Structure 1
Amino acid sequence: MSNRSLTLIIGIFVGLVVVFQSAFTVHQTQNALVLQLGKPVGGVLEPGLHFKLPFVQNVIYFDARVLDYDAQPAEALTKDKKALVLDNYARWRITDPLRFYQTVRTIPGAQARLDDIVYSQLRVFLGRYTLTEVVSSERSAIMEMVTKRSSDLISEYGIEIIDVRIKRTDLPPENQRAIFGRMRAERERQAKQYRSEGQEESTTIKSTADKEQAVILAEARRQASVIRGEGEALSTRVFAEALSKSPEFYEFQRSMEAYKKSFAGKTRILLTTDDQFLKYLK
């Protein structure tokens, strides 16, 4: 191989190296900055094919998509001095890569600033509302205010906060135990009240039943006395009528009954023969 050919090959190789070191592509989901000795040169590069000085300049890329940041749960106080453990997240994006690089440089640095700003604003706005309002009625309005205020504060870092949301709201463990204790005490109080009302109702029902029983028995006894009296009156009238029709027969029947009762068993009776009691035995 001649010297000319070798020189040509080396030249082509060096040219390719220079091209590969100079050309770079920024994807659709990215923005980029060219750094020279650690300092940005030029502006923000949009998606497409770009060139830089080889070996002297390097490129850093920034995600242009919406990013998620899931914060660690932290406590905050409401207006009525109730402690809440908030588990929140934020959706954000890089709007100015140059300022972003000059201030926070990396995604972890940006997340640290997000954590500080979002958490501080959550504490500020939650402190203006009661626990009930935070959990139910004013939750959406609070999140909108926190999002707007946090985005305004963090804009100096080239970042925009799109949305801040609370995933879950819990109570601290000591508060949970206290609330469970109050709930248990309230349920026990209600149970005692229900038992007391049940016993009162039971006593009322028993008293009413005893009263009705006494009234029914008294009425039954009265009716029985009336019927018994009517029966005795009828019996007396029948005996009287029978006696008036045949006094001798009545006297005979009564004597037979007296004999039957007197002479039953091993009874001994001493009577004279002319005793009136024995006149029907003669």
Structure 2
Amino acid sequence: MSSKFIGITGLALVVLAVTAFGSLYTVNQIQQAVVFQFGKPIRIVTEPGLHVKMPFVQNVDYYDKRVLDFNLPVQEPITDDQKKMLIDSFARYRIVDPLKVFQTVRTEAVIRTRIDGLINSAMRNVVGNVPLTSLLSKEREQIMLDIRNQVNGEVAQFGIEVIDVRIRRADLPSQNSQAIFERMKSQREQAAKKIRSEGAEAAQRIRAEADKNRTVILAEARKKGEILRGEGDGAKNDILAKAYGKDAVFFDFYRSMQSYRSALGSDGTTMVLSPDSEFFRYFNQSIEK
């Protein structure tokens, strides 16, 4: 075997190895790829593993398919009640269409620049329509959701989806915070005073109504009692009249006994009467017998 043959064989093996190596590429778990042929995209590969391409005429660009974090610069939007805010936030996004990314923004740096600008614009728009108190309350969650939705309406054209926009801190500039705090405190105190005043007025109104109802109820009860008492006295008189009609002597005796019990029933009762008084007629009759 000549040295020339060995050289040709070795060269062929090298070319074959280079060709074989150039025809294979790997996509790992966190990647997605765009395959180009003569500089034009021809397919998107999202499945991880070993893949084949045409050597020398096809090349591959890789894009991350994980959810990525992006710390945003501090924004300075103005609220609906004209309060300048300092908002520290971050975004989480992912590439959902690597072909669109290649056709529009291409690089990670440009992606982040676009997201930064769009979030800044959306934050100024959303925060500009809410008062300061909304940023400091549970309404902040809805504010972040509104910012995310507005940004997603713009970044879809770049093949990107913003998963979340989070506000870490929302502060007032140091030179304004104390004055605004005092103003808010004064407003809350005025609101509390108004609520207490309205509560006291309502309580007084309820008490007056209750007193009025009490007076009416007592008056009606007294009236009903007088009516019942009158009816009872009338019935009593009817009964007594009937009894008197049946046995006048006994009825007169019974009435006298009732009078004795009423007049003499209490201890220490002193009466000055003539022995011949009509009041003692039944006593006199008893003595005579």
Conserved? CA contact 1:76–1:126, under 8 Å? yes
Measured against aligned partners, the alpha-carbon deviations of 1:149-190 in whole angstroms (never above 9, x if no partner) come to 21122111100111101011122243246558x59xx9xxxx
Output aligned runs, 1:16-35, within 5 Å: 16-35=17-36
Residues in 2 aligned to 1:78 and 1:10: alpha-carbon distance in whole angstroms: 72
Q: Report the number of matched residues.
A: 183
Question: Which amino acid in the other structure matches residue 129 of structure 1?
Answer: V
Conserved? CA contact 1:126–1:142, under 8 Å? yes
Residues in 1 aligned to 2:146 and 2:177: alpha-carbon distance in whole angstroms: 29
Residues in 1 aligned to 2:164 and 2:151: alpha-carbon distance in whole angstroms: 10
Conserved? CA contact 1:65–1:93, under 8 Å? yes
Q: Which residue of 1 aligns with 2:44?
A: 43
Output aligned runs, 1:114-125, within 5 Å: 114-125=115-126
Residues in 2 aligned to 1:179 and 1:129: alpha-carbon distance in whole angstroms: 16
Give the C-alpha shift of residue 129 in structure 1. Answer: 1.1
Question: Which amino acid in the other structure matches residue 15 of structure 1?
Answer: L
Q: Which residue of 1 aligns with 2:106?
A: 105
Q: Which residue of 2 aligns with 1:162?
A: 163
Residues in 1 aligned to 2:138 and 2:156: alpha-carbon distance in whole angstroms: 29
Q: Which residue of 2 aligns with 1:134?
A: 135
Question: Which amino acid in the other structure matches residue 159 of structure 2?
Answer: G
Question: Which amino acid in the other structure matches residue 162 of structure 1?
Answer: I
Conserved? CA contact 1:31–1:97, under 8 Å? yes
Measured against aligned partners, the alpha-carbon deviations of 1:38-59 in whole angstroms (never above 9, x if no partner) come to 3322334532212223233321
Q: Which residue of 1 aligns with 2:59?
A: 58
Give the C-alpha shift of residue 4 in structure 1. Answer: 3.2
Residues in 2 aligned to 1:175 and 1:38: alpha-carbon distance in whole angstroms: 56
- Structure 1: runs of 5 or more not aligned: 187-282
Measured at CA, do residues 109 and 69 of structure 1 come closer, stay the same or move farther in structure 2, by a change above 3 Å? same
Conserved? CA contact 2:96–2:159, under 8 Å? yes
Residues in 2 aligned to 1:147 and 1:101: alpha-carbon distance in whole angstroms: 23
Q: Which residue of 1 aligns with 2:15?
A: 14
Output aligned runs, 1:1-282, within 5 Å: 1-2=1-2, 3-176=4-177, 178-179=179-180
Residues in 2 aligned to 1:74 and 1:43: alpha-carbon distance in whole angstroms: 36
Give the C-alpha shift of residue 73 in structure 1. Answer: 0.3
Conserved? CA contact 1:29–1:63, under 8 Å? yes
Task: Let me know the Cα RMSD of the aligned residues.
Answer: 2.1
Residues in 1 aligned to 2:127 and 2:180: alpha-carbon distance in whole angstroms: 21
Question: Which amino acid in the other structure matches residue 59 of structure 2?
Answer: N
Measured against aligned partners, the alpha-carbon deviations of 1:84-139 in whole angstroms (never above 9, x if no partner) come to 01111100000000001111101111111111111111111111211011111310
Conserved? CA contact 2:92–2:162, under 8 Å? yes
Residues in 1 aligned to 2:108 and 2:117: alpha-carbon distance in whole angstroms: 14
SS in 2 for 1:74: coil
Residues in 1 aligned to 2:68 and 2:33: alpha-carbon distance in whole angstroms: 17
Q: TM-score, normalised by structure 1?
A: 0.60
Residues in 2 aligned to 1:169 and 1:64: alpha-carbon distance in whole angstroms: 31
Q: How much identity, in percent, do the aligned residues show?
A: 44
Conserved? CA contact 1:32–1:46, under 8 Å? no
- Structure 2: runs of 5 or more not aligned: 187-289
Conserved? CA contact 1:95–1:160, under 8 Å? yes
Question: Which amino acid in the other structure matches residue 175 of structure 2?
Answer: E
Conserved? CA contact 2:78–2:124, under 8 Å? yes
Residues in 1 aligned to 2:69 and 2:151: alpha-carbon distance in whole angstroms: 15
